[in-house]
Amino acid sequence: MGVTDILWVILFLVIFLVSYLVYSQRKEVSYFRSKKILHLGNAFVNSFYYMIYKKIGLVEMLQESYDQMREAQAPVAGNFDMGCINYFVTDSDMLKHILVKDFDHFVNRRSIKVPSTDILVTKMLIFQNDEKWKGLRSKLSPTFTTGKIKRLFSLFNDSSKKLVQYVNERMAESTDGEIDLGDGYSKFTMDTIASAVCGMNSQAFDQIEPSIFEMMGKKLQLTFTAKTFFKFFVMILLPKFSQRIGMTMFDKDMHQFFAGAIKSSIKERNQTGQKGNDFIQLMLEVREDKLKTDESELDSFEKDAIIKSEVKGQVSTADLLDDDGIVSNCVLFILAGFDTTQSLLLFCAYALAIHPEIQDKLRKEVEAVLDENDGDFTYDSIHKMAYLDMVIHETLRFYPPAPATDRGCTEDYLIPGTDIVVKKGDGIIVPIMSIHHDERYYPEPEKFDPERFSPENKGKFNTYAFLPFGQGPRNCIGMRFALTEVKLAIAQLVHNFDIEPSKRTPIPMKFENASSLKPKGGMWLALKRRTAINES
C-alpha cells in the first residue's frame, strides 16, 4: 500500500468517524428521551474529550457520570458506545440480580469484535462467550483452587524475598531513602507470574533496568491515548478492514516472544515427560483430562462457580486449550495479574505510609506471626492474619484496581423495579470505584478504615457494593492467586521497612490515564530499614 493510498484511507476514516458521531448523537438523544432514561452522552466522544483533551482519566469520567445519576436520582442511565447501547447500573439490589440471580441473561462480557486472525486475543478466557466460556471456565477453575495455589507458595515467597533485597539496594543508592515502589512491585509481580504461571525465570531482579520479560509484560498494559482510541475504533467498527491489514490488539513482537517461550516449554515437556510446577502444567493436565482435584480443596465459592459455569452439550477442551490456547491464557494471566496486582500493592503501601497508626498495628500482627513460624511466612500464616486481610480489603474498596466492570446481555431482560428492558446485545456498565465511595454504602467513604472489614463488621456491608473482583460466576478467576501474592509482599514490606511519605508522595492522589488504577508520576515513598537483610 503506497503513501497516497494510506492518506486516502485516513481521510475516509476521518469522514466516517465524524459522520458516525453526528448520526450517533442524534440517535442517542432520541432513543433515551423516548424511553425516559437519563442520557450520559456518547461514550466515544466523552472518552476522547475527557481523556485526550482534558487529560483526566477513566476514574474522573466515571465519577462525573455517577454524579449525574445521583443528582437525577436515577439508578440506571444509558449511553451509546461504538453503536452499542450501554446501561450504567449503580443500585446494589439490581446488581445482585444482574451478576448472580439472573446470571443466565448476562453470561458474557460486552461484545468486542476483534479480527479472527488475532489468535492471541480470540482464545483468551475473557473473550470467550456462552458455552465456550462456560467450558473453559469450568475447566480452568480447579487450577485456581486454594490447594493448587498453596503448592506454588514457595515461588511467591522466593519472589517476595528478592523484592526486599531489591528495595534495600535502591534505598542504599538514595540519599534520603526515597524510592519509587512502582519499579520494585513491577519486578515482583512479573517475577511471581513468570515462575508460577509460565515456569520461567523472569530475570527481573537480576538487573535494575527492565528485563526482556518485564518489557514484554509492560506492553500488555493499556493506556488511553489517541492512538489507542483510533486502533480500537477501527478494530470494532471495521473488523474486516482491520483483519485485512493485519491489525492486532497487542504488538506482534510481544505475541511472538510469549508464544515462542511457552510453546518451547510445552514441546520440551511432551518430549521428555518432565512436569513443571506452574499453570502451564495444570493447563496441560486439563487438556488431557488428567487434572486431579480433591473436593476438600474446593470451598463453597469455588464449587458454586464451577457448577454455574458447567456447559450444556459437548465443548472440546482440547480445542479450547490447544498450544495457542495455552499461550493466550498464560498471557491473559500475565495481563490481569501484572497490572492489577501492582496497582493494589502500590496503593496499599501508600495507605500505610499516610496512616502510620494502621501500619504499626499491622506490623505487630506480622511480627507475632513470624515469631510463631520460625521467622518465615507460610501459606497458612499469611491467610491467618485478620488485620492484614482487613487492610487489603479496605485498599480494594478505596483504590479498586479496576474502576469499572461490564456484562453483555444475552437475552432480553427487564431490570427489576423498573420498566427498562435491556435488549440482547446491550451492555451493562458497573462503575466500581464510584460505588465504593458512595456514602449510602459506606459511611465516611473518604476515610481509610480497615475496621469496616473486621470479623464483626464484615457481615454488615453490602456484598454487591464491594466489587474489586466482580461478583458471580464471571468474577476474577485469579482472585486467590492475587490475594496471596499481595498479602505476602505487604507483610514482607512492613516487617522489613518503616514506610513514610516523601517529598514526592502525591497527596492528594492523582491517577494515570490507564485501564487500571495507577498513581500519576509514580509511587514515591520514603522507606527506613528495620531489620538486617539476608544477603545470601
Q: How far apart are CA 206 and CA 210, in angstroms?
A: 9
Per-residue model confidence (pLDDT) at position 3: 61
Q: Give the three-class secondary structure for 526.
A: strand
Region 435-457 average pLDDT: 96
Q: Does 142 reside within a domain? A: yes
| More confident: 284 or 10 | 284
Q: Could you tell me if 341 and 485 are in contact, meaning their C-beta atoms sit under 8 angstroms apart?
A: yes
Region 258-264 average pLDDT: 91
| More confident: 98 or 306 | 98
pTM of the predicted model as reported, rounded to 2 decimal places: 0.88
Taking only the tens place, the pLDDT of each residue in 328-381 is: 999 888 888 888 899 999 999 999 999 999 999 999 999 999 999 988 999 999
Per-residue model confidence (pLDDT) at position 291: 81
Is the previous residue joined to 443 through a cis bond, with omega within 30 degrees of 0?
no
Q: What residue type is assigned to position 54 of the chain?
A: K
Q: Comparing C-alpha atoms, which of 477, 418, 470, 482 is closest to residue 103? A: 470
Residue written as grid cell 510445552: 266
Q: Could you tell me if 167 and 184 are in contact, meaning their C-beta atoms sit under 8 angstroms apart?
A: yes
Those residues with Cβ within 8 angstroms of residue 111's Cβ, 6 or more apart along the chain or in another chain: 84, 129, 408, 425, 427
Strands (E), 426-496: 427-430
Q: Which domain holds residue 186?
A: 3-529
Lowest mean pLDDT among 298-312, 337-351, 456-470: 298-312
Per-residue model confidence (pLDDT) at position 141: 87
Question: How far, rounded to the nearest angstrom, does the alpha carbon of residue 121 sit from its chain's CA centroid?
Answer: 16
Q: Does 51 reside within a domain? A: yes
pLDDT-derived band at 19, boundaries 50, 70, 90 = confident
Question: How far, rounded to the nearest angstrom, does the alpha carbon of residue 425 sit from its chain's CA centroid?
Answer: 24
Q: Does 535 reside within a domain? A: no
Residue written as grid cell 497490572: 339
C-alpha cell at 79: 449511553
Q: Could you tell me if 178 and 528 are in contact, meaning their C-beta atoms sit under 8 angstroms apart?
A: no
Average pLDDT along the chain:
86
pLDDT-derived band at 425, boundaries 50, 70, 90 = very high
Q: Could you tell me if 197 and 334 are in contact, meaning their C-beta atoms sit under 8 angstroms apart?
A: yes
Q: How far apart are CA 373 and CA 363, in angstroms?
A: 15
Q: Does 71 reside within a domain? A: yes
Region 384-388 average pLDDT: 97
Q: How far apart are CA 22 and CA 27, in angstroms?
A: 9
Residue written as grid cell 443466565: 104
Helices 279-287 and 130-140, axial angle in degrees (round to 10): 120
Q: Does 91 reside within a domain? A: yes
520-536 core/surface letters (b: 16 or more CB in 10 A; e: else): eebbbbbbeeeeebeee
Taking only the tens place, the pLDDT of each residue in 197-220 is: 888 899 999 988 988 888 888 777
Per-residue pLDDT at 259 exceeds 80: yes
Q: Comparing C-alpha atoms, which of 386, 391, 400 is closest to residue 356? A: 391
Q: Comparing C-alpha atoms, which of 105, 69, 101 is closest to residue 88? A: 69
Q: Give start and end residues of each alpha helix (H) in 273-322.
A: 279-287, 300-308, 317-320
Q: Does 534 reside within a domain? A: no
Q: Does 136 reside within a domain? A: yes
φ and ψ of 101, to 5 deg: -60, -40
The per-residue DSSP string of 221-277 comes to --B--HHHHHHHHHHHH-HHHHHHTT--SS-HHHHHHHHHHHHHHHHHHHHH----S
Per-residue model confidence (pLDDT) at position 389: 97
Per-residue model confidence (pLDDT) at position 536: 39
Share of the chain above pLDDT 90, in %: 51
C-alpha cell at 532: 538486617
Domain total for the chain?
Answer: 1
HSE-CB of 460 using CA atoms within 13 angstroms? 10
Taking only the tens place, the pLDDT of each residue in 476-529 is: 999 999 999 999 999 999 999 999 999 999 899 988 877 789 898 899 999 999
Taking only the tens place, the pLDDT of each residue in 58-88 is: 788 899 999 999 999 999 999 887 678 999 9
The per-residue DSSP string of 145-186 comes to SHHHHHHTHHHHHHHHHHHHHHHHHHHHHSSSSEEEHHHHHH
Q: Does 536 reside within a domain? A: no
Residue written as grid cell 522489613: 496
Question: How far, rounded to the nearest angstrom, does the alpha carbon of residue 441 sit from its chain's CA centroid?
Answer: 23
Q: What is the CATH number of the domain that holds 183?
A: 1.10.630.10
C-alpha cell at 425: 446485545
Lowest mean pLDDT among 89-93, 247-251, 312-316: 312-316
Q: What residue type is assigned to position 292 of the chain?
A: K
C-alpha angle 369-373-377 in degrees, rounded to nearest 5:
75
130-144 core/surface letters (b: 16 or more CB in 10 A; e: else): eebbbbbbbbbbbbb
Residue written as grid cell 493506556: 223
Per-residue pLDDT at 393 exceeds 90: yes
Q: How far apart are CA 497 and CA 495, in angstroms?
A: 6
Helix %, strand %, coil % of the chain (to 5): 60, 10, 35
pLDDT-derived band at 42, boundaries 50, 70, 90 = confident
Residue 423 CB-density burial (10 A; 0-12 exposed, 13-18 middle, 19+ buried): exposed
φ and ψ of 169, to 5 deg: -70, -40
- Quick count: other Cβ atoms within 10 Å of Cβ 322? 14
Beta strand pairing call for 427-430 and 405-408: antiparallel
Per-residue model confidence (pLDDT) at position 117: 76
Per-residue model confidence (pLDDT) at position 147: 87
Q: How far apart are CA 161 and CA 217, in angstroms?
A: 21
Q: What residue type is assigned to position 499 of the chain?
A: I
Per-residue pLDDT at 313 exceeds 60: no
pLDDT-derived band at 459, boundaries 50, 70, 90 = confident
Lowest mean pLDDT among 53-62, 126-135, 166-175: 53-62
Q: Comparing C-alpha atoms, which of 24, 39, 85, 44 is closest to residue 412? A: 85
Share of the chain above pLDDT 70, in %: 84
88-125 core/surface letters (b: 16 or more CB in 10 A; e: else): bbbbbebbbbbbbebbebbbbbbebebbeebbbbbbbb
Per-residue model confidence (pLDDT) at position 535: 45
